[in-house]
Amino acid sequence: MPTAYFICEGNRFRSQIAEALFNAWAPPGWTAASGGTNPRDSVAQGALDLLAEIGIDWSGHRPKPIDVDVAGHAARVIAMCSLDTCPAGVREVAEHWGVPDPKDVPPDRVFEIRDEIAERVKALIREIARTPPRAKG
């Protein structure tokens, strides 16, 4: 099954939101996963709250390290953070979205990050819906 693989440093906010939104809206036959270069202990409460606000319960999910094998077989790899932090095998195949880190945004404006990710995920879904996917591997 073709996979969109979202990565960031902590895998606790941006990549978790992207994974959740993609899986909620995924075209038939697609799935999403995520990982972090330095995964934290838990998904950020702010991310969980922002997802719950739009009807997605993501409470059972945990941050995960980047899985180079999953990234290598993913149809799309999207870095939400700087590509410089990615392992070499991932850095060469990743696209870069450069979504702001929530720690750099006032707490009352983190919803803007969710909305930016949502728009990018919708655009990605429109793009892949136009071109039938093929899983690598």
Contact 19, 34 (CB under 8 A): yes
* Residues annotated as catalytic (active site), given as ranges: 8, 81, 86
Give the DSSP H or E segment for 123: helix 110-130
Contact 20, 91 (CB under 8 A): no
* Percent composition of the chain: helix, strand, coil (DSSP 3-state, to 5): 45, 15, 40
